[in-house]
Amino acid sequence: MYITPRPGGLGRNHVTESVNKRLDRRPDTVPDPPEAPLFTSVDDVSARLAETGYLASPAVATTVFLAGRLGKPLLVEGPAGVGKTELAKAVAQVAGARLVRLQCYEGVDESRALYEWNHAKQLLRISAGRDESWDETRTDIFSEEFLLPRPLLTAIRGDEPTVLLIDETDKADVEMEGLLLEVLSDFQITVPELGTVTATRRPFVVLTSNAGRELSEALRRRCLFLHIGFPEEELERRIVRLKVPGLGAALTESVVRVVGALRAMDLRKAPSVAETVDWAHTLLALGADTLDETVVRDSLGVILKHQDDIQKAAAKLDLDAL
């Protein structure tokens, strides 16, 4: 991190100077650290993610590789439960990076995303220093000690490898996108009272979206785009085998086939990978040997979460085909 004191700031430049001195950094004398590339090849991505329990399709592995190489944020879009959040966690794990997560929701704002001042502590400091001049107090209360960094600032300030996960971006308001655009184009954040914080080591950024609303073209342009849909049968079988190794091969196959058939129906909420894995766990717990009609009907609530979906599925599923 390098902090550029704000020109004409509130006379508090010594704060940023001291921070930079402590960090022994100057922007023009610090060469970019010779960072080892995160992944050496697409196969390397697949192999290392698999070690953490994440099975990437070729499209996922390729895009993750490129995002690492090009240093571009990765925008991952797709239905709930297909492994978007998990992908960011897995990348952090294989990279030995800390994961900084900004969970988006309606109303998430700068004070939740960037930073805020610790007002309570500032007030205590003001009342403790009654004999000081206002200038002294003011200099002090707008220093690092009183700053509460939130995920975006935390990710940019760190010198250690970081994966920044901006999760469920579509839930945030449009104004938030403007803020993200700023941060993701320059990897710097200005705290008016302190100066501009510039990342010396760019985090690997993953934005996820359930496509609840269209993200702006400007934001998309800044990112590499990856759509994760429901997996192919073969990949989903491998995921189930990995997560629920105790389930027999025949039953694993049936589970994946039934889930596939359910996805082909016009349901309010099609089951996702998360539900497939839950269902496999359930069948193992029930000690089921085969997927017969009774077992399926009794456990449909694990994969379908709406009563009309359950009724529709129970009526339509071709149980002879199980």
Nearer to ligand ADP, 52 or 190 (CB): 52
Instruction: Calculate the CA 113 to chain-centre distance.
Output: 13
Cα-flanking dihedrals φ and ψ of residue 6, to 5°?
Answer: -75, 125
Provide the residue type at 91 as one letter: V
Q: What's the residue count for the chain?
A: 322
Helix H or strand E encompassing 4: strand 2-4
Nearer to Mg ion, 85 or 154 (CB): 85
Asked whether position 81 contacts ligand ADP by CB under 6 A, the answer is yes
CA distances from 320 to 143, 258, 316 (A): 70, 11, 11
Could you say which of 20, 46, 85, 272 contacts Mg ion (CB under 5 A)? 85
Could you say which of 1, 64, 82, 288 contacts ligand ADP (CB under 6 A)? 82
Candidates 12-20, 78-86, 174-182, 254-262; binding stretch for ligand ADP (CB under 6 A)? 78-86
Nearer to ligand ADP, 90 or 313 (CB): 90
Asked whether position 55 contacts ligand ADP by CB under 6 A, the answer is yes
Structure tokens that stand for 167 in this block: 């999760």
DSSP-derived secondary structure letter, 195: E
Nearer to ligand ADP, 92 or 273 (CB): 273
Q: Please give the residue whose beta carbon sits closest to ligand ADP in the complex.
A: 83
Instruction: Calculate the CA 251 to chain-centre distance.
Output: 33
Asked whether position 5 contacts ligand ADP by CB under 6 A, the answer is no
Nearer to ligand ADP, 59 or 123 (CB): 59
Nearer to Mg ion, 132 or 170 (CB): 170
Of 278, 109, 89, the residue nearest 167 (C-alpha): 89
Candidates 30-38, 51-59, 211-219, 279-287; binding stretch for ligand ADP (CB under 6 A)? 51-59
Of 314, 309, 312, the residue nearest 298 (C-alpha): 314
The full DSSP string for 117-177 is E-HHHHHHHHHHTTTS-HHHHHHHHTSGGGEEE-HHHHHHH--S-EEEEEETGGGS-HHHH
54 binds, among Mg ion, ligand ADP, none (CB under 5 to 8 A by kind): ligand ADP
> What does the per-residue mask of binding to ligand ADP show for 271-300, with x meaning CB under 6 A?
--xx--x-----------------------
Binding site for ligand ADP (CB under 6 A): 53-55, 80-86, 208, 239, 243, 273-274, 277
